[in-house]
Amino acid sequence: MLADIITIGDEILIGQIVDTNSAWIAQRLNESGIKVRQITSVSDEKQHILNALQDAHEQSEVIIITGGLGPTSDDITKPTLSEYFGSKLTENESVLNDLLAFVKARGIKLSERNRKQAEVPECCTVIRNPVGTAPAMWFEKDSRIYISLPGVPFEMIEIMEQSIIPKLVEVTHGRSKIIIHKNVLTHGISESHLAVMLADWERQFPTNLKLAYLPQPGIIRLRLTIEGKNEAQLREILEFELHILKRILPDAIFGEDEDSMEGVVGRLLLEKDATLSVAESCTGGNISHLITLVSGSSKYYKGSVVAYSNETKYELLKVNIDTLINYGAVSKQTAAEMAKGVKILCKTDYAIAITGIAGPDGGSEEKPVGTTWIAVATPDKIISQKFHFGDNRELNIMRASVAALNLLRLQLI
Amino acid sequence: MLADIITIGDEILIGQIVDTNSAWIAQRLNESGIKVRQITSVSDEKQHILNALQDAHEQSEVIIITGGLGPTSDDITKPTLSEYFGSKLTENESVLNDLLAFVKARGIKLSERNRKQAEVPECCTVIRNPVGTAPAMWFEKDSRIYISLPGVPFEMIEIMEQSIIPKLVEVTHGRSKIIIHKNVLTHGISESHLAVMLADWERQFPTNLKLAYLPQPGIIRLRLTIEGKNEAQLREILEFELHILKRILPDAIFGEDEDSMEGVVGRLLLEKDATLSVAESCTGGNISHLITLVSGSSKYYKGSVVAYSNETKYELLKVNIDTLINYGAVSKQTAAEMAKGVKILCKTDYAIAITGIAGPDGGSEEKPVGTTWIAVATPDKIISQKFHFGDNRELNIMRASVAALNLLRLQLI
C-alpha cells in the first residue's frame, strides 16, 4: 500500500523551516506497513494544492496533508479541501465544544477568528486535537483515504499516535505489506570499497530484500530493507543475511540501528568497569564532546586535556620537549606521550590521544593537511596509528574523532 | 523566476533522514532572487524520477536535483538523467583527474567502481566537487536549467556556494527580482519576548520588508528580507531599519550574517592580542570544540581541561577540596576556582569555566537538571553567573556553551 505526503506552507519553500514532519510521518507509516511514494511541499496557493492532491490521488491510496490549518488568512487548506471534495464548510459542534473548553482552560475568550476553526468540510470525519485548536480531518474518496493534519509538529505527532495510526492500521489491515529495516554501522572502509566487497553477497539477495549505503563523516550505514507478508519469515531471512554480512566484514561493523561509536565505546568500558581520559590536539575537544553526549558517561569518563599549543602538550601532558623538537607535534612519538601523560594525570585505565593538522593552514609537503596520529593507551601498552584525512577542517575533525574512538574500540573488544 | 527542487533517495521516503538540503537550497535560491515553487522527494526508481523531472519542467525554469550520485548500485540519478536528456554516459577526463588526485591524497588506489564516478552524461557541463568524488552536473534544455548535486549536505553546500549560486546569479541576471537578506544574531532574549519588544518596530515596516525569527539553541537569528528593483535603495532601507533594531536591542545582538559566537569571541581576542583557556565540566569539551572549529584559533586558544569528575577538578584544576565538599561541584565557588585553575595552568589572559547538571540524571530539588554556573577569568578579576537551562541533555550542552562564550564576549567588549 502506497502513501503520499503533502506539506503545505510557504515557510518550507523559502527554507525558513526544515520539514521534520514528513520524515516522522514516513517512519511511522513505514512501521505500519505503508510505503511512502512521494513527499511534496507546496505553497499556500489553492491551485497548487489542488494539483498536488490530484497527482497524489492518481498514485497512492493514502494521502497525508499537513499544514495550512491555522487561524490566519494565509491558511487555506480547509476551503481548498472543501472545493476538492465538492463539499462546503460548516461549523462542527464537537469541534466548537473542544475550542470552548480549550480557551476556557486558559482563561481567555473565543475570538471570532478562532471560532472559524470549528468550521470543517461537511463530508469529513473530524479527528480531535487533544493539544491544540485545529482538528484533524479524515476524508474518503474513490477508495483513497485523505488525512489533513495541523503542521505544528507536536500536535501532528499527538494526533497521529492517538488516532490516525490506529485507525489506519485497522482500515488497511491485510491490504498492506510488512516492511522491516535493519541498519548496520561500519567504519574504516570507503563506500566504493564496501560496494566491491559486498557485490557477490548482494547478487544472491531474494528479490524482496534491498541494500542501501548511507555515508556520514567517518561512518557508513548499511540499511537492509525487506518486504513481505510473513513477519517471522522476513526476520529469519534478515538474521541469516546479517550473519553473512558479519562474516564478510568481521572488523568494520561496530554497531546496529540506533548505536553510535561513542555509545558502543561507552558500553564496552562499562562492561570492563574501566575508565577513560582523552588528550586532544587537532580535534579540539570534539572527542570529549562526543563521549559526553552519552548520558551516564560520567561512570567511565574522567576528563580530558585539550592541548592546542606545544606549551600545553609539554607542561600539562608532560610530553618530552625533545620529542616535540625532534619529531614534531604531529608524530607517533608525541601522540604516544600525550596518551601516556593524560592517562597518568587522570588516573584512568585507558586513554586516547590525537594530534594532527586539521587545516586549512599548517600543512607541509612531508605532513600535508589531514595528517593525523592517534594513540591509545591500554592498561599494559600504547598503540598508535597514522591516518590521512582530507583538507576540509570541519570534516577532518569529525572523521578523526570517529577514527580515534574506533581505535579504542578495537582495543576493548 | 521559479525553481523546483527534487530530492532523490529512499532514505528520505522511509523517514530515515530529515531532508535538510531542501531548506538550505530554498533559502539560498531565495536570496538570489529565485522563488522555490515545489519540493518533491522521490524514490530511487527511474520512472518516478523521470516523472518528477517532467512535472518540474512544465512549471519551473530552474530544477535542482540532489542525491543518487554515489558509486553504489542504488544510485541511479546519472543513467536516468542521461535517458531524460537523450544523452549517453561517457568518461570525463577532468573528473577522472580529480578522482585520481582525490584517492592519491588518501594513499589509496582508484577502484573500477570508483572510476565509474568519472562517467557523466555527454550533454552536461561538469561542475567540480572540491570535497568529494561525485561531481555536480549542469544541463540546459528548452531554456530550463537543470542542476544535479550530490546529496551529502556538506558537499552540496560547498558546490552550491562556490560554483552554482554565482553561475545562476550570472545567468538569471535581470530576469529576477532583487531580494536582499540581512541576518542579525541575538543571544539572551527568548523568541516570545523578542516578538513583544519588536512589535512596534515591525508595524512601521514598508510593505516590501519582512522579518523572520529563526531560533537555534542559545541563539535567535532575526532575518530581514527586502524585495524590489533598485538595489541601492533597498540597501539604504535595510541599513536604516538595522540602525533602529540595534537601538531596541543594544546588548542582545552579537553578530550579523555569517558570524558565529565562537568567531566573534575569536576576533575580539585577536584584537586584544589575548589568549584563552577553558575548564569544562557539564559541556564535556563542546566549548573547546566550538572555539577550535574556527580556523586560526590556535593564535589565541591554548588549551582546555575537561574535568568530568571531582578528582579531575581537584587534581588538575586545583579546585580546593573544601570548596567541592562545602559548596558542591555545581556552585559559584567551584566555577570560579576552575577558571582560576585553568588560567594558571595554561598561562592565558582569559579563561572560561563551566559546571552544571546536563541531565537527564543528577538533578536535585535544590539544583534541578539544567542548573549551571559559568565563570570568566579576565586579567584582573573573576566574574560568575548562574543559569537555568531545560531538561534535555543535548540542548543543555549547546545552550550552556553559547552562554559561556557570550559571558566572555561581554568581558571583551
CATH number at residue B195: 3.30.70.2860
Residue A247 has pLDDT above 70, yes or no: yes
Residue A118 shares a structural domain with residue A205:
no
Highest mean pLDDT among A113-122, A210-219, A326-335: A326-335
Within 10 angstroms of residue B366's Cβ, the number of other Cβ atoms is: 8
- The pLDDT, as a whole number, for residue A73 is 55
Instruction: Tell me whether residues B26 and A13 touch, CB distance under 8 A.
Output: yes
Side chain identity at B69, as an amino acid letter?
Answer: L
Q: What is the CATH number of the domain that holds B370?
A: 3.90.950.20
Beta bridge partners of A35: A2
A228 & A304 share domain: no
> What is the model's pLDDT at position B109?
83
* A69 pLDDT above the threshold of 90: no
Split into its structural domains, chain A has a count of 3
d(CA A254, CA B344): 41
Chains A, B: CB pairs < 8 Å: 287
Which residue in B243, B197, B203, B237 sits closest to B220, CA to CA? B197
User: What average pLDDT score do residues A180-188 get?
Assistant: 93
Q: How confident is the model at residue A181 (pLDDT cuts 50, 70, 90)?
A: confident
Closest Cα in chain B to A25:
B15
**Which position has the grid cell 518596530?**
B201
Distance between CA atoms of residues B354 and B201, nearest Å: 37
Question: Any chain A CB within 8 A of the CB of B316?
Answer: yes
Across the interface, which of B113, B278, B358 has its CB nearest the CB of A195? B113
Count of CB atoms within 10 A of residue B323's CB?
19
Query: Across all residues in chain A, what is the average pLDDT?
Result: 92
**A23 to chain B: closest CA residue:** B15
What are A72-94's pLDDT values in tens digits?
656 789 999 999 999 999 999 99
- The CATH number assigned to the domain holding B144 equals 3.40.980.10
Once rounded to an integer, what is the mean pLDDT over residues A360-372? Answer: 88
Residues in B closer than 8 angstroms to A368, CB to CB, are 105
Q: Does A81 contact B at CB distance below 8 Å?
A: no
Termini Cα distance of chain B: 44
CA distance A191 to chain B (A): 7
Last residue of a domain, one of A207, A234, A256: A256
Query: What local confidence, expressed as pLDDT, does residue A372 receive?
Result: 97
Beta bridge partners of A163: none
Determine which of A201-210, A230-239, B106-115, B298-307 has the lowest per-residue pLDDT on average.
Answer: B106-115
Looking at the fold, whether B12 and B70 belong to one and the same domain comes out as: yes
CA of A82 to nearest chain B CA: how many angstroms apart?
22
Say whether A285 and B304 touch across the interface (CB within 8 A): yes
Residues B161 and B298 in one domain: no
Cβ within 8 Å of A, B 230-289: 278, 280, 283-289
User: Higher model confidence: residue A112 or residue B4?
Assistant: B4
| B188, B120: one domain | no
* Spatial separation of the C-alpha atoms in residues A55 and A77, rounded to whole Å: 16
Cα A177 from Cα A313, distance rounded (Å): 59
Q: Does A34 touch chain B (CB under 8 A)?
A: no
User: Distance between CA A182 and CA A258 in Å, rounded?
Assistant: 10
Contact state of B288 with A288 under an 8 Å Cβ cutoff? yes
CA angle B271/B277/B283 to nearest 5° reads: 120
Segment A195-217 shows an average pLDDT of: 89
Could you tell me if B166 and B249 lie in one domain?
no
- Percent of chain A at pLDDT exceeding 90: 71
**Nearest by CB: B303 against A223, A309, A390:** A309
**A16 interfaces chain B, CB cutoff of 8 Å:** yes
Is the minimum CB–CB distance between B142 and chain A shorter than 8 Å?
no
* Chain A neighbors of B307, CB-CB under 8 A: 303
Q: Is the domain of A123 the same as that of A46?
A: yes
Interval A230-238 mean pLDDT: 93
Note which residues in 320-379 of chain A have CB less than 8 A from chain B. 345-347, 358-361, 368, 370
Instruction: Report the pLDDT value the prediction gives residue B174, as an integer from 0 to 100.
Output: 66
Contact B301 A287 (CB under 8 A): no
What share of chain A in percent tops pLDDT 70?
99
Taking the CA of residue A84 and the nearest CA in chain B, the distance in Å comes to: 20
DSSP codes, A263-321: HHHHHHHHHHT--EEEEESTTTTHHHHHHHHSTTGGGTEEEEEEE-SHHHHHHTS---H
For residues A219-228, average pLDDT = 91
pLDDT < 50 positions in chain B: none
Task: Single out the residue in B256, B291, B315 at which a domain terminates.
Answer: B256
The nearest CA of chain B is from the CA of A27 a distance in Å of 5
pTM flag (> 0.90): no
In this prediction, residue A190 has a pLDDT band, given cuts at 50, 70 and 90, of confident
B40: chain A residues, CB-CB within 8 Å:
38-41
Determine the pLDDT at residue A234: 94
A114 exposed, middle or buried (CB, 10 Å; 0-12, 13-18, 19+)?
Answer: middle
So what's the pLDDT on residue A72? Answer: 63
A398 phi and psi, to 5 degrees?
-70, -45
User: Tens of pLDDT along B70-127?
Assistant: 777 667 899 999 999 999 999 999 999 998 988 887 777 888 888 888 999 999 999 9
CB contact (8 A) between residue A392 and residue B154: yes
- Average pLDDT of the residues in A241-254: 94
Partners of residue B338 in chain A, C-beta under 8 Å: none
Residue A101 and residue A211 share a domain: no
Does A37 sit within 8 Å of B28, measured CB to CB? no
Do the chains contact at B288 and A292, CB–CB below 8 Å?
no
The last residue of a domain, from among A256, A284, A299: A256
Residue B223's pLDDT is: 85
Residues B62 and B183 in one domain: no
Q: Which of B71, B107, B393 sits opposite A295 (nearest CB)?
A: B393
| A48 contacts on B by Cβ (under 8 Å) | 37-38
Rounded distance, CA A112 to CA A115, Å?
Answer: 5
Q: Which chain A residues have a beta carbon less than 8 Å from that of B285?
A: 280, 285-289, 291-292, 304, 306
Convert the pLDDT of each residue in A281-302 to its tens digit: 999 999 999 999 999 999 999 9
Say whether both B290 and B404 belong to one domain: yes
Residue A172, pLDDT > 90, answer: no
Residue A32 sits in the same domain as residue A102 = yes
What letter would DSSP give residue A33?
T
Q: At A141, which helix (H) or strand (E)? A: strand A136-141
Q: Domain range spanning residue B91?
A: 2-171
What is residue B62's predicted lDDT score, i.e. its pLDDT? 96
**pLDDT at residue A399, rounded to an integer:** 94
* Count of Cβ atoms closer than 10 Å to residue A20 Cβ: 15
Q: Do A193 and B111 touch (CB under 8 A)?
A: yes
**Residue A400 contacts B, CB cutoff 8 Å:** no
Same structural domain, A41 and A119:
yes
Averaged pLDDT for residues A311-334: 95
Confidence of residue A360 (pLDDT cuts 50, 70, 90): confident
Task: Assign A112 a pLDDT band (cuts: 50, 70, 90).
Answer: confident
Paired sense of beta strands A35-42 and A2-8, if any: parallel
ipTM of predicted assembly, 2 dp: 0.77
Please count the residues of chain A: 413
